[in-house]
Amino acid sequence: MITPARLHSDLSRLGRETDMFFATVASLSDDEMAAASLCEGWSRAHVIAHVAANGRALVQLIEWAAAGEERRLYASPEARAGAISALAALPREELLEELRASARHFAEQAQRLAGTLVAPEVGVDGGPLPATSIVALRIAEVVVHHHDLDTAWTIEEADPDSLLDALEAVVRSLGAKEVPGMTLVTEERDQWIIGNGALRVESDREGLLQWLARGDAAHIEAGGPVPALPRW
């Protein structure tokens, strides 16, 4: 189980990151929402729809942890794509209301993580996730996709611990995929080793996240050629 104090802290940070995401989204006009995002093939409306759908999907992991019955985020990749497309096509105000409603639903359901957890680990992206990290995964989703909106908000505005949550989520995902061995080091003294750790990559948390999640290598220093990585 997660302690009430840690859960309160995690949900407070999630609330802060979510409020900033809402503020950015609410400032966008219809034309701005239809513009391209940093996610290839997705408009800003698709990114917003994904964050809304993700809030409800992650409740499946909470149910898995609390009840012990394995749950999937989506029934299939096609179901995921269909849900996002349907939400992205909604009128602006309906999409914003769904975003708010899904955030409230996740925060309410996350309170169950402070109880006895039948399943201490759940599965995401082909690998294990501690049930106590489900809220941190939601924080990561909000932070990375806020960056994907490509607005005046910058990733430096995220809480340092939220950036750490995002980095851990991305590194966990990469560890379950076929990527070259790397040692990842931040100026804040975080370190992760993937595979044999052969390639050393350094940056601050913001720069490392932008490269790992979106391929932007402008702010990293590496001990050799940097590989192309799967998008998170």
Look up tokens 């595979």; give the residue: 195
**Prediction pTM value:** 0.93
Strands (E), 102-147: 121-124, 127-130
Every domain of the chain and the residues it spans: 4-168, 178-232
Query: Is the pLDDT at 1 greater than 70, yes or no?
Result: no
pLDDT (tens digit per residue) in 108-149 = 999 999 978 999 999 987 789 999 999 999 999 999 999 999
> Beta strands of the chain (E only): which ranges?
121-124, 127-130, 182-186, 191-194, 199-203, 221-222
Angle at 102 between CA 100 and CA 104, to 5 degrees: 70
In CATH, 178-232 is 3.30.1050.20:
yes
- Could you tell me whether strands 199-203 and 182-186 are parallel, antiparallel, or unpaired per DSSP bridges? parallel
pLDDT tens, position by position, 150-189:
999 999 999 999 999 999 999 999 887 889 999 999 999 9
- 4-168 CATH fold: Four Helix Bundle (Hemerythrin (Met), subunit A) (1.20.120)
Whole-angstrom CA distances from 110 to 62, 102, 164 are 7, 12, 20
Model confidence pLDDT, tens digit, residues 62-107: 999 999 999 999 988 899 999 999 999 999 999 999 999 999 999 9
pLDDT value for 184: 98
What SS3 state is found at 198? coil
